[in-house]
Structure 1
């Protein structure tokens, strides 16, 4: 089946672009954006799962102590240029550089018309591949860019004034990842395990990005550290001469909040030619990723709900504390201090199952009351 993009010379296989190269049910292609100030956070996710025939999206805001979300799910369009479902849409104004997010769900207290403009080169993270025995469970490419937002946001019927500087992140990822209802497999008695940190940080003169996956012993199996310069006028989104992404060796030190799997503070160390430098991260605000569909008990990614379903929810942020599976995946807005710079970014944390350096032994046990301190050197 053909779509308009088939007229471009961009094919990677003999298949039309509407078809994936393989029939794995967990193939996905997703947009993710966040935006934040010290006391406001919003996020939008939109994913297409062609082998499940599903498109879904969510928009969520943390404001005045409340996390509000709207979810939409429907039948996936054949034409992949259609990036809208129900009241949520993403427009590629200029690929990789300018995107527009529109949401119209006043019945769920959310209306937005926001534009994201990339301010750093797009950073391609290392391919993330994971096997469970003979089963390929994850095979993902992710591209991350830092940027800023302008536009209009309305929450609970009231316009939220946006300051001149609203920083954020664009994340485009695609490949294979557990989505939708699980496919039947042989029983596995092992406790599920995942340790993931993701930290895109905006500074006035550029950005910094850190990512790591670790096994239960704290050994990294995918990782990256990147310095992101500002794009100059006319620079390509991959960076102009002298403005390319610079990959560096980084490590993390995380202080867990006692009784939780949420950070009480963190440090990132960067190995540079002149020596090791430390970036201190101070949490300011917490967003539970269930608000954008991640591990949501009903609207998790890739599930079939019918031709079109739109729903919403709201919670006081304190109601979302705890160690439930749908609450441990978080992004914290963090104040970042690096040399004389003070920036703003997020520290995403998803820690399920054992992780020896943190003192976690079960599926969702919390940090010891004295507070666990973890150090991992990413190489």
Structure 2
């Protein structure tokens, strides 16, 4: 099956670009988020391609007056991976690794968001994780902070982005659980669990990134902190695995209430403090959504709007566990900035006293 991609030098295997190995869970995804300096006007985008499921889906969410307005779209991929449009949502790669534009127009929600990177993207360590004998994920991700220009419109009320709107975008590809769930048990005595924290931060003159995946006992299996000065090239980042996060849970939830991140740097210890401003539910862009989970088949084309009242979200529902907390950030060197604190904890996690799928 030949497609437009086959006329570019992109091949990684002897097969056409339309095929991506043999794992049915292979995916290729874009993610964006953005916010004003006070944390208001938060938006997020997810756009995924699942070659072996014949699905492409896209999601856009925008918070206004305590309501998270969401637009979901899904279509049949038809093997063409260079078509970055799913119904009312599209992505244009203007300058690879530096500038991209997201456009939205459907169900009373519209937007045009132009992202420009602050520095060359970072490449995160390859994520390979097994639950018992089964590969749960195996993927690579690039991440980049930047600034946005544009506007968002909900039900006819258009708002221009704050001139200092900043945020993060990433690209990941590989294997994750996508599409319909695998009902095959993991095996006798295997307890599924997943712990994830991610904190891309925009400071005045540099970006700071931290992530950790850990097992149910708190032992990290993938973690790193990276500092990227504005304008940094591919080899101008500082990175270290010597970083630790202290993050109490908000009562009755699996959401972080605050955070204190300690990083070892060449200039000495750096402490980064997080003050929660706004909560964003990741199911609004497909993550853990029962209906709009990534890669689920909805037919040739399906589009739906969803409005989430953030004040009434049930924190005990597993599809509400995954959040991004827009946070005011201060450092021990006197810097002030804004970023997000993303967290997802599924199953037991000893360091936080979590058992099963209970909340704190």
TM-score (ref. length: structure 2)? 0.95
Distance 1:80 1:284, change over 3 A: same
The answer on whether the counterparts of 2:117 and 2:147 sit within 8 Å (CA) in structure 1 is yes
Q: Give deviations 1:241-268, integer Å, cap 9, x for gaps.
A: xxx1210221111021111111111011
Quote how far apart the aligned CAs of 1:78 are. Answer: 2.1
Distance 1:151 1:77, change over 3 A: farther
**2:341 corresponds to 1:342:** no
User: Any idea what SS the aligned residue of 2:351 has?
Assistant: helix
Aligned residues: 355
Quote how far apart the aligned CAs of 1:273 are. Answer: 2.9
Determine which of 223, 232, 239 is the counterpart of 1:247: 239
Partner of residue 157, structure 2: 158
The answer on whether the counterparts of 2:92 and 2:101 sit within 8 Å (CA) in structure 1 is yes
**2:319 corresponds to 1:320:** no
Distance in 2 (CA, whole Å) between partners of 1:362 and 1:3 is: 45
Distance in 1 (CA, whole Å) between partners of 2:63 and 2:80 is: 33
Partner of residue 114, structure 1: 113
User: Any idea what SS the aligned residue of 1:153 has?
Assistant: strand
The answer on whether the counterparts of 2:132 and 2:186 sit within 8 Å (CA) in structure 1 is no
The answer on whether the counterparts of 2:131 and 2:192 sit within 8 Å (CA) in structure 1 is no
Range 176-185 or range 208-217, more displaced: 176-185
Quote how far apart the aligned CAs of 1:190 are. Answer: 4.3
Partner of residue 53, structure 2: 52
Distance in 2 (CA, whole Å) between partners of 1:359 and 1:186 is: 25
Distance in 1 (CA, whole Å) between partners of 2:151 and 2:118 is: 20
**2:255 corresponds to 1:262:** yes
Range 272-281 or range 251-260, more displaced: 272-281
The answer on whether the counterparts of 2:198 and 2:210 sit within 8 Å (CA) in structure 1 is yes
Quote how far apart the aligned CAs of 1:73 are. Answer: 0.5
Quote how far apart the aligned CAs of 1:322 are. Answer: 1.4
Partner of residue 370, structure 1: none
Partner of residue 3, structure 2: 3
Structural mapping, 1:1-379, within 5 Å: 1-20=1-20, 22-37=21-36, 38-105=39-106, 107=107, 109-186=108-185, 188=187, 190-231=190-231, 238=234, 244-248=236-240, 249-338=242-331, 339-363=333-357, 365-367=358-360
Quote how far apart the aligned CAs of 1:325 are. Answer: 1.0
Quote how far apart the aligned CAs of 1:3 are. Answer: 2.3
The answer on whether the counterparts of 1:18 and 1:78 sit within 8 Å (CA) in structure 2 is yes
TM-score (ref. length: structure 1)? 0.91
Distance in 1 (CA, whole Å) between partners of 2:208 and 2:314 is: 29
RMSD: 1.4
User: Any idea what SS the aligned residue of 2:160 has?
Assistant: coil
Distance 1:165 1:141, change over 3 A: same
Quote how far apart the aligned CAs of 1:186 are. Answer: 3.6
Q: Give deviations 1:282-315, integer Å, cap 9, x for gaps.
A: 1100000000001111010001110000001102
The answer on whether the counterparts of 1:57 and 1:71 sit within 8 Å (CA) in structure 2 is yes
The answer on whether the counterparts of 1:140 and 1:173 sit within 8 Å (CA) in structure 2 is yes
Q: Give deviations 1:108-161, integer Å, cap 9, x for gaps.
A: x31001100111220111101012233211101011000011012112320123
Quote how far apart the aligned CAs of 1:184 are. Answer: 4.3
Distance in 2 (CA, whole Å) between partners of 1:256 and 1:135 is: 30
Quote how far apart the aligned CAs of 1:191 are. Answer: 4.1
Distance 1:83 1:110, change over 3 A: same
The answer on whether the counterparts of 1:55 and 1:77 sit within 8 Å (CA) in structure 2 is no
User: Any idea what SS the aligned residue of 2:247 has?
Assistant: strand
